[in-house]
Amino acid sequence: MFKMFKPTIQWILQAVFPFFCIGCEKEGVLLCEPCLKAIPFAKARCPVCRAPSAFGRTCAAHRSSLDGCIAVASYAHPWVRDMIRLWKFEYVREIETVLVRLLLRHLQDAALPSVAWSLIPVPLHPKRLNERGFSQTRVLSDILSEITGDTVETQLLSHGWRLRRRQADIASEAKRRTQKLHAYFRVKGDGIPTHVLLVDDVYTTGATMEGAARVLKQAGVKYVWGFVLARNK
Ligand SMILES: [Zn+2]
Ligand SMILES: [Zn+2]
């Protein structure tokens, strides 16, 4: 089963402050079944220009490394946003039980080509991972894997430090700061899969996913799709 680690402190907190549904404030659940069903799924759109497209395929004209991106819901939906915030920033791991239900419901409708996908969690910056104590992209990948039976691959994609080494040569402090914001990934190891589903929680500008998709393609992956919990628009 999923690694639903529940620190003791959360058990105590829940006894003192029971959960209330994010949607209707019903006591005892984080998101009740009617509210869960009321969350609309995100429309399938090209991840680059947001034009409607089949399953979220990227328009060929963009020459993007990301072949498409499947988004479960919209980050603009207040309950979705609340859930993700509670999960990522308040560390309410019980949200994961809601995510399982949401993804189960979504994947009944989503038409992923029935090939063996390698589920690759978008790596978190090590500093973020230390702060949070868990990787939300890894947890999401594990949930997906439980549902689809696809394998989670965590060794192939990681952060590269190419930029950090180069920074020693950059004289301007301001320039160094802006350059730090860019995510760089690297692929290591053999056994390059054909189909990769890059898993992330939120899709905003797409820069992270594009960067990850690019190195995967360079390493020989044929198809790279994204799978995100929420897309910003
Ligand atoms: Zn409710
Ligand atoms: Zn497009």
Question: pLDDT tens digits, residue range 98-125?
Answer: 999 999 988 876 666 678 899 999 998 7
Measured CA distances, 38 to 31, 83, 108, 173 (Å): 11, 14, 16, 48
Long-range contacts of 174-182 (CB under 8 A, 24+ apart): 182/207, 182/211
- To the nearest 10°, the Cα dihedral for 70, 71, 72, 74? -160
Ligand 1 centroid to Cα of residue 75, in Å, is 18
How does residue 127 score in pLDDT terms, banded at 50, 70 and 90? confident
| Residue 166 to residue 72: CA distance in whole angstroms | 38
pLDDT, the chain, mean? 85
Nearest to 124 by CA among 136, 115, 114: 136
How does residue 213 score in pLDDT terms, banded at 50, 70 and 90? very high
Does residue 151 contact residue 119 with C-beta atoms inside 8 Å?
yes
Other CB atoms within 10 Å distance of the CB of residue 62: 13
Residue 132 belongs to domain spanning: 40-74+112-231
Ligand 1 centroid to Cα of residue 30, in Å, is 8
Ligand 1 centroid to Cα of residue 24, in Å, is 4
| Residue 19 to residue 22: CA distance in whole angstroms | 9
CA of 39, nearest ligand number: 1
Is residue 176 in a domain?
Answer: yes
How does residue 179 score in pLDDT terms, banded at 50, 70 and 90? low
> For the chain, how many structural domains are there in total?
1
CATH code (residue 218): 3.40.50
| Residue 190 to residue 180: CA distance in whole angstroms | 29
**233 or 150, greater pLDDT:** 150
Is residue 88 in a domain?
Answer: no
- Ion ligand 1 — residues with CB under 5 Å? 21, 23-24, 26, 32, 35
Does residue 184 contact residue 203 with C-beta atoms inside 8 Å?
no
Ligand 2 centroid to Cα of residue 50, in Å, is 6
Ligand 1 centroid to Cα of residue 80, in Å, is 13
Ligand 2 centroid to Cα of residue 65, in Å, is 13
Q: Is the pLDDT of residue 167 over 90?
A: no
CA of 24, nearest ligand number: 1
- What is the pLDDT, as a whole number, of residue 134? 87
Q: Please, which residues have CB within 8 angstroms of residue 159's CB and are 6 or more apart in sequence?
A: 123, 125, 126, 183, 184, 185, 186
Ligand 2 centroid to Cα of residue 221, in Å, is 21
Does residue 123 contact residue 89 with C-beta atoms inside 8 Å?
no
- What is the pLDDT, as a whole number, of residue 107? 83
Say which range, 32-41, 114-123, 222-231, has the weakest mean pLDDT: 114-123
Is residue 68 in a domain?
Answer: yes
Q: Is the pLDDT of residue 17 over 90?
A: no
Other CB atoms within 10 Å distance of the CB of residue 215: 18
- Ion ligand 2 — residues with CB under 5 Å? 46, 48-49, 51, 59
How does residue 2 score in pLDDT terms, banded at 50, 70 and 90? very low
Q: Is the pLDDT of residue 9 over 80?
A: no
Is residue 118 in a domain?
Answer: yes
Is residue 12 in a domain?
Answer: no
